[in-house]
Chains A and B, each alone.
Chain A
Amino acid sequence: MTTLDIQLHLALQSPDRRFELDVTLTSHSARTALLGPSGAGKSTVLQAIAGLLPGARGHVRVDGSTLLDSARGIDLPARERGIGLVFQDYALFPHLSVEQNLLYGLRRLGHAPAPGAAGRIDALLAQFDLGGVRKALPRHLSGGQRQRVALARALAPQPRLLLLDEPLSALDPELRTRLRDELAQMLERVQMPTLLVSHDLADVRALAQSVIRIEHGRVVGQASAPAEA
């Protein structure tokens, strides 16, 4: 069982708008969803948890490990947080093959890949049915393959928490329905604590065990299991 204990305060200022995020959430579910309309601040929460937004205050604790605690002056950089983030449109490195994308997090500049990296990549390629495209560049992949590469890349360094930002929104409606079930099965199989973000209730029902509603940068409701319509 995983435990998320998150409290975040963040003000984002752009020339045309000011956005304030003030979110407190705890979850003991394996898979938790943040549900809310676009612009509610869901993606901002994920980025702050991943350590990509400087100036975030509050705390982020995953299974007892403190990644951020502004009161105690703790603010681990993104590279040390051990959090796998799947971006909304996947952000696969366009100049690297599928295999190299997966290997990215297992290799440091100027060093040989971590021991066991090759075996881990082979296992992921097989698990996500990507063996046939291991040498292909992202632009030659289908939408479903891209999603699987993004998931496999985030999982490769064995993160403590997986974050999914609108995992199905980059797909057209027909594919979306099909891949929703596929993704649910994959998440079930990998057994990785997951926090996902969606504006779609159907996605949340299929993918998460508990749901937290967010509107205007604030938590407005939490349920341990998504309500049936």
Chain B
Amino acid sequence: MLSAFSPAMLQPLVLTLQVALLATLFAGALGIAAGHWMAHRRFAGQDVLDAVLVLPMVLPPTVLGYYLIVLIGRNGPLGHWLEAAFGIRLLFTWQGAVLASTVVGFPLVYKAARAAFEDVDPRFANAARTLGSSEREVFWRIALPLARRGIGAGLALTFARCMGEFGATLMVAGNLPGRTQTLSVAIYSAVQAGDDRLAFTLTVIVSLLCVALLVMANRLLQGTPGRTAR
């Protein structure tokens, strides 16, 4: 069994966890901010903006990957600026994989956060205001704690989605073993190379991790197990 934990398996696993964790962090911060902002405003064209924000969820990953290549490639506006100003290259790096996963995962946090913030009774925020709270304080002490279950579930889903990210990652970060090869890309390579044993082991790992994450997301939404109503 020890031989199963070979570098061919461990490297993609560690890289995938690293990419998924960072992407969830970035997508989380952006998604919570966007969800809160959209939940508390009404303006013309809001539904169009909402559609744009959710777009990465429904676009083919290859289309997203193409957009990102155009954006962060050497001649792309962001890529050119990053390289000129900081010497940073994102294309074909694991950081590029983080960017791809962040974009793909963003709509999941955004949608969950917006719904969770909209569910918070506005009277709580008003009560906080009469007790001296600024809007910033209302966010940190009232809205965020009361929306935490929905947001937590969204974050768990995002992490699971980032774990399985394939299309955009392959296009942006490529398939460099030990450097940018994540689990799902490694499975693809293993199947292509006829290494069924590796493909099977990696597949089981991804499946188990994703089941665990989905169970966690469900429990967050339904309330913690073991807490019974009194």
Contacts and interface: CB of A to CB of B under 8 A. Distances in A.
Interface stretch (B27-35, B87-95, B128-136): B128-136
B148 to A, nearest CB: 8
Contacts of A104: 128, 131, 141
A78 B146 contact: no
Contact of B124 (A50, A83, A91): A91
A157 interface: yes
A52 interface: yes
B137 interface: yes
B129 A108 contact: no
A46 to B, nearest CB: 10
Given A93-B142, A95-B145, A95-B146, A105 B129 contact: no
B131 A105 contact: yes
A140 interface: yes
Contacts of B141: 104, 109
A109 B140 contact: yes
A154 B142 CA distance: 16
B127 A79 contact: no
Interface in A76-99: 77-81, 83-85, 87, 91, 93-95
A157 B131 contact: yes
Contacts, number: 61
B130 A81 contact: yes
A87 B131 CA distance: 12
Given A91-B121, A93-B142, A109 B137 contact: yes
Nearest to A105: B131
Interface in B143-157: 145-146
A109 B132 CA distance: 11
Chain B CB count within 10 A is highest, among A84, A95, A153, A156, for A95
Contact of A78 (B121, B126, B137, B230): B126
B123 interface: yes
A79 B124 CA distance: 14
A91 B123 contact: yes
Contacts of A51: 129-130
Contacts of B142: 93
A51 B121 CA distance: 18
B119 to A, nearest CB: 12
A153 B141 CA distance: 16
A78 B130 contact: yes
A85 B134 contact: no
Given A87-B123, A91-B123, A52 B136 contact: no
A156 B124 CA distance: 17
B112 to A, nearest CB: 18
A109 B128 CA distance: 12
Contacts of B124: 91, 93-94
A79 B132 contact: yes
Interface in A38-61: 47, 50-52
A154 B126 CA distance: 12
Nearest to A140: B230
A108 B136 CA distance: 11
Contacts of A94: 124, 146
Contacts of B121: 91
A44 to B, nearest CB: 13
A2 B160 CA distance: 60
B6 to A, nearest CB: 47
Given A87-B126, A93-B128, 4 more contacts: A79-B134, A81-B130, A91-B127, A95-B146
9 smallest beta-carbon distances between A and B, as pairs = A105-B131, A78-B129, A91-B123, A109-B137, A91-B127, A85-B130, A79-B132, A95-B145, A52-B126
25 contacts: A52-B126, A52-B129, A52-B130, A78-B129, A85-B126, A85-B127, A87-B123, A91-B121, A91-B124, A91-B127, A93-B128, A93-B142, A94-B146, A95-B146, A104-B131, A104-B141, A105-B131, A108-B137, A109-B133, A109-B134, A140-B230, A154-B130, A154-B131, A156-B131, A157-B132
Interface of B: 121, 123-124, 126-134, 136-137, 140-142, 145-146, 230
